[in-house]
Amino acid sequence: MQGACLQAPRAVLARMGGMTTTLALFDDPPRQEREPLGPGAFVLPGFALPFVDELLPAIRAVEARAPFRHLVTPGGFTMSVALTNCGALGWTSDRRGYRYSPFDPDSGLPWPAMPEPLALLAREAAAKAGFDGFAPDACLVNRYAPGARLSLHQDKDEHDYGAPIVSVSLGMPAVFLFGGLARGDKTVRVPLVHGDVVVWGGEDRLRYHGVLPLKEAPHPLLGAQRINLTFRKAG
Ligand code: SIN
Ligand code: FE2
């Protein structure tokens, strides 16, 4: 936990409670355990920090079997974010369209299984946001280098909109944009740091969201990158 404290002092200290003298060292007020973005959408600051030591080797093992790649959209654009997947289903894109598939198109092999520490974090974060019994079958692993961005989109390729999306931020900070149910709705800017989790489901499940171009601010554990995990019930 010591290492984690160095990377996200506000989030960690806020969870320790009672440490008012230490908290007073920081300018920002302590973040709440659950910050609402909507009736079914929450930021859980620092929720993933206790899991990080197990997440990072698990992600490296996934990456060794299914390397990150820059997908091409149906419109012919190459995405700035690099992607891989784990779980029974993985999300891919090419000139023919977007889809979930049990197979990695690069290797022809099934995607690596979802490592248990990832599945556990997803379940616990969903429960914390009020979605009990979340059983994701897909985890998209997105890697952002400085300058990479994700334009506003809805996560709507999944069959089951009854299940939430659970999104875990690791490494460099990012600004997450959270909009409404129509593309043109106003967006709020949500700063996310290493260990933060965002969950959106229920009536917020189809809200538009994206990520602003990443600033270069190397992270002590992950260097000049941000890794985002999004857990979904896709099938
Ligand atoms: C996504 O929308 O799939 C990823 C969001 C993020 O990187 O925070
Ligand atoms: Fe998304």
Q: Does 209 sit in the ligand 1 pocket, CB within 6 Å?
A: yes
Do the Cβ atoms of 93 and 153 come closer than 8 Å?
Answer: no
Residue 7: per-residue pLDDT: 40
SS3 content of the chain, % helix, strand, coil (to 5): 20, 30, 50
**DSSP classification of residue 47:** T
Q: If 0-12 CB within 10 Å is exposed, 13-18 middle and 19+ buried, where does residue 33 land?
A: middle
Q: What is the pLDDT of residue 211?
A: 98
Ligand 2 center–CA 206 separation, angstroms: 9
C-alpha span between 192 and 173 (Å, rounded): 6
| No. of helices (H) and no. of strands (E), the chain | 5, 13
Q: Which residues pair with 210 in a beta bridge?
A: 177
Kindly provide the b/e burial profile for residues 150-160, where b requires at least 16 CB atoms within 10 angstroms of the residue's own CB. Answer: bebeebeebee
Up-side HSE of residue 198: CA atoms within 13 Å toward CB? Answer: 27
Q: Which residues contact 77 (CB under 8 A, 6 or more apart)?
A: none
Give me the pLDDT at residue 28, please.
Answer: 65
Alpha-carbon span 75 to 81, nearest angstrom? 16
**Residue 45: per-residue pLDDT:** 98
Structure tokens at 81: 């974010």
CA 209 – CA 186 distance, rounded (Å): 11
Going by C-alpha positions, the residue among 38, 34, 12, 37 that lies closest to residue 23 is 12
148 CB less than 6 Å from ligand 1? no
Cβ–ligand 1 distance for 100 under 6 Å, the answer no
Query: Of ligand 1's atoms, which has the minimum distance to the CA of residue 228?
Result: 7
**Ligand 2 center from residue 5 Cα (angstroms):** 28
Q: Assess contact for 172 and 182: CB atoms under 8 A.
A: no
The pLDDT score that the predictor gives to residue 160 is: 85
What pLDDT score does 107 carry?
98
Nearest residue (by CA) to ligand 1, atom 3, is: 230
Query: Which ligand is closest to the CA of 167, given by its number?
Result: 1
Atom number in ligand 1 closest to CA 230: 3
Point out which residues pair with 191 in neighbouring strands: 175
Residue found under tokens 């979930």:
100
Q: Is the CB of 150 inside a 6 Å radius of any atom of ligand 1?
A: yes
> Which residues of the chain have a pLDDT value below 50?
1-22, 24
Residue with CA nearest ligand 1 atom 6: 228
Give residue 144 CA to ligand 1 midpoint distance, Å. 10
pLDDT at 217: 96
Output the pLDDT for position 32: 83
Q: In ligand 1, which atom is closest to the CA atom of 210?
A: 2
What pTM was estimated for this model as a whole?
0.88
